[in-house]
Structure 1
Amino acid sequence: MKFKRFFAQTFYSSLIGLGLMALTPRTSLAQREVLYEQYIQNPMAINPAFTGIREDFNMTVLLRRRWFTIQNSPVTQTFAMDGAIANGKIGLGLQALNDRLSPYYTTGVYGSGAYHWNASVSWRVSLGLQGGINVLPLYDFASGISTNGVLGSFGAGVYVRYAEQFYVGISKPELLSQNFGSGRQSLFEYRQPLFVTAGATFDSGEKMQITPSVLIVQEKGIPLRVDVGARAWYDEKLGLGTFYRMGSVNYVQLSGEAQLGRNARLGYIFNSRAIESSIVGINNNPLTIHEIMLKFIPSPTKFHLN
C-alpha cells in the first residue's frame, strides 16, 4: 500500500509539473522523432502497451548531446517513468521530452495507461493508450509571424509476451492528423509512423543473457525502416548492445550499461549518426550523438533487461 501511494503521488505530481513545463513557450520544429530513437532504453517511447510491463516502478533519464568538449552546448533531456497498480493489471506512465539539440526542437509531455491480461499461464496481452501535447512552431503566411502552437497527441499499441522469452508489439504512438488553421502551416510534417517490434531472450551459459530484436517502421512517403541488433547481459551486472538502423538515415548504435547495486543503472549510448542528419545535411559536423542514461528503481523485485 505504501508503494502504491508513493507511485500515485509521484505520477500525478510529475504530470502536473511536466505539463506546466511543456506549456511554457519554446521554439519547436517537429514532433518526437528523437524520443522514438530511444526505444531500446525506453520501449514506452514507441508503444504505450509497454507501460507497467515490468510492474516495478521505474524512472529513466536520458541526456543527449553532440559535443562533450564545448561547455554549455545544447542538451536534449528525456524523462520517463512507469509502474503498475491493481496487482500488475494496470500500468501508468509518463514521458517528457525537451529537445534543445536537434533542429526539431521539440517539447512535449505524454501520459500513458495499459491493461495487462494474463491470457494463460505463459501468454500475456497488453493494450495501451497514450495522450499528451506537442509544442510546434506554426507559420502564419498572412502575418509572416511564427508562433508556438500546442497540439494534441494520441496513440495506441498492443504488446504480446510469452513467458518473458519472446515478445511482439505493434503500435502507432501518433494517430491524430492536425488542422493547423487557415493560412498556418507547421515547419515539419505531423508524422504518424507505425512500429512493429519483435524480440526474444536466450540464456547462453549460466550468467549470460542475449536479447536479439528487430524493429520495422512504416510511414507514408518515407522508405521502410528496419532495425536489427542485440543486447547481452553478463551476470545481471554488465550489458552491451549493438544495433544497425536502416532507413532514411543509416547508422550504428552501440551501448554499454552497468548495474549499480539493486536500484540504479548507468549507461552510455553512441550513435554514429543523428536521426535529424537527413534534415541538417552532411556538413553539420560532428554527425555523431552521445547519450547518457540513468535508470532508478526504488524497490526492485527482480532484474529487468530494459
Structure 2
Amino acid sequence: MKKVAVLAVRKAGWVLLLVVGSVSWSFGQREVLYEQYQQNPMAINPAFTGVREDFNMTAILRRRWFFLPNAPITQTFATDGTVANGKVGLGLQALNDRMSVYATTGAYGSVAYHVASTGPVKISLGIQGGVNVLPVYDFTSNTSLSRALGSFGAGIWLRTDRFYAGVSKPELLAQGYGSRASYGIYRRPLYVLAGGQFDLAEDLKLVPQVLVVQEAGTSLRVDVGARAWYNERIGLGASFRTAVRNYLQLSGEVQVSTNVRVGYIFNSRAIEAGANVTSTGPVGMHELMLKFVPNPSGFHLN
C-alpha cells in the first residue's frame, strides 16, 4: 500500500509539473529569440531583414552554467542579406531551446522590401513565416509528443542616418496546442522599437534604445537601454527590461577584425523563468555571441 501511495504521489507531481509547464508555455514559445532583439533586431521585426545590406550571420549560445558538462543550452542563429541590388532582403532564423523539461525548435524565413526613397527616411516592409515545434503531453496515453505549428509575422522599419524605429508583430496567428489540461496559446506581442546614434566624441558613439511591448492580458512593458562604442572596436551596453519579473542585461562586444565580432551578454534573470521563485539554481543567464560578415562594406552597430 505504501509503494502504491508513493507512486501516486510521484505521478501527481509529474502532472502538476506538466500543467505548470504548459502555463509557462502560454507565456512564451519564442521569448528566448525575442529577447535577443538588441543583438538581432530581425528577431522581433522581419522588416529589418537586409537593412545592413551586407550578408550577416549571428550565432548565440545561451547557458546558466558554461563550465558544467552536459548542462542544458539554447542555440539561436540568424542570417540575412540582400538581393536585387539591395531592394529585397532575405533572412533565416533558427531556434533550438533546451533550457527546461520542455523544448522548442523553430525555423523562420523572412523577406523585406526596401522602398526606394530620395529623402532622408528609408522604409522597409517585411514578413516572416516558419514553423514552431512545441511539446504536447497527452494525459490519456501518458505520452509526450511534438507538434509543429505554423508561424507568420509582419513589420515595418524606418531609418535615417541617425535614427531608426520599427513596429511589428512577429506572431500574427492565433493557435492552441496540447490537450485541454495542457492547453496553451501563442504569444502575439506588438513591438515598438526606437533608437538613435549620437557622437559623444570623435571615437565614441552612444546608441540609446527604447522598446515598448503590448500584449493582451499583460501590463504594458517598456525596456530602456543604451550601448557605447569606442573607436568602432569595443562596445559596452546596459538595459533595464521589464517582464513578469524585471531584470538587467549587461553586454560587452569586441570587433576583433573587420568581419568578426564576439560578445558576452549577462541577464540577471532568465526571461522564461517568469514569476517562478522556487528554483534553487542560479537565476542569471549567460550568452556568448559570434557575428560574421564575410565582406563588410562598413561598421554596423547591430
Give TM-score, length-normalised by structure 1.
0.86
Counterpart residue identity of residue 303, structure 1 = F
Question: What count of residue pairs does the alignment treat as equivalent?
Answer: 277
Amino acid at match of 1:62: I
**1:74 matched residue in structure 2:** 72
2:171 aligned residue: 174
Paired AA for residue 169 in structure 2: K
**What is the Cα deviation at residue 179 of structure 1?**
4.6
Match of 1:125 in 2: 123
Moved more, 49-58 or 142-151: 142-151
How far does residue 279 in structure 1 lie from its aligned partner after superposition? Answer: 5.4
2:262 is matched with 266
Residue in structure 1 matching 2:235, options 208, 231, 239 = 239
Task: Write the letter of the residue equivalent to 1:122.
Answer: P
Residue in 1 that maps onto 2:137: 139
Within 5 A, what are the aligned runs for 1:85-96?
85-96=83-94
The reply to whether residue 281 of structure 1 matches residue 255 of structure 2 is no
Determine the C-alpha separation between the residues in 2 that align with 1:110 and 1:266: 24
Question: Which residue is equivalent to 2:199?
Answer: 203
Whether the 8 Å CA contact 1:112–1:131 is kept in 2: the answer is yes
**Could you say what secondary structure the match of 1:41 adopts?**
coil
Cα offset, 1:69, TM superposition: 3.1
Q: Which amino acid aligns with 1:171?
A: S
CA contact (8 A) 1:134 1:151 kept: yes
CA separation of 1:247/1:195 partners in 2, compared to 1, >3 Å: closer, same or farther? same
Distance (whole Å) between structure 2 residues aligned to residue 190 and residue 233 of structure 1: 37
CA, structure 1 residues 64+207, in 2 after alignment: closer, same or farther (shift >3 Å)?
Answer: same
CA contact (8 A) 1:137 1:186 kept: no
Displacement after TM superposition at 1:68 (Å): 2.4
- Matched to 2:171, the amino acid is E
**CA–CA distance in 2 between the matches of 1:118 and 1:247?**
37
Distance 1:202 1:67, change over 3 A: same
Structure with higher Rg: it is: 2
Aligned residue type for 2:265 = I
> Which residue of structure 2 lines up, in the alignment, with residue 213 of structure 1?
209
Q: Which residue in the other structure is 1:295 paired with? A: 291
Counterpart for residue 219 of structure 2:
223
Q: Is the contact made by 1:109 and 1:134 (CA closer than 8 Å) also made in structure 2? A: yes
1:28-72 C-alpha deviation (Å, 9 max, x unpaired): 955211100100001000000000000000000000000123112
Question: CA contact under 8 A between 1:139 and 1:184: conserved in structure 2?
Answer: no
Any stretches of 5+ residues in structure 2 without a counterpart?
Answer: 1-23
Q: Cα offset for 1:197?
A: 0.4
Which residue in the other structure is 2:48 paired with? 50
Q: Which shows bigger deviation, 132-141 or 216-225?
A: 132-141
8 A Cα contact 1:138 1:185, kept in partner: no
Computed over aligned residues only, the root mean square deviation of the Cα atoms, in angstroms, reads 1.8
What is the Cα deviation at residue 106 of structure 1?
A: 1.2
Residues 106 and 134 of structure 1 are in contact (CA less than 8 Å); yes or no, is this contact kept in structure 2? yes
Structure 1 distance, partners of 2:51, 2:82, is 8
Please state how far the C-alpha of 1:185 moved relative to its aligned partner. 6.5
Residue 293 of structure 1 aligns with an amino acid whose one-letter code is: M
Q: Tell me, which stretches of 5 or more residues in structure 1 are unaligned? A: 1-27
The structural deviation recorded for 1:246 is 1.4
The structural deviation recorded for 1:146 is 3.0
Offset of residue 110 of structure 1:
0.2
Q: Identity over aligned residues, as a percent?
A: 62
Give me the whole-angstrom Cα distance separating, in 1, the residues matched to 2:206 and 2:192: 20
CA contact (8 A) 1:140 1:184 kept: no
1:132 is aligned with what amino acid? G
- 8 A Cα contact 2:245 2:275, kept in partner: no
- Which residue in 2 is equivalent to 1:115? 113
Normalized against structure 2, the TM-score is what? 0.87
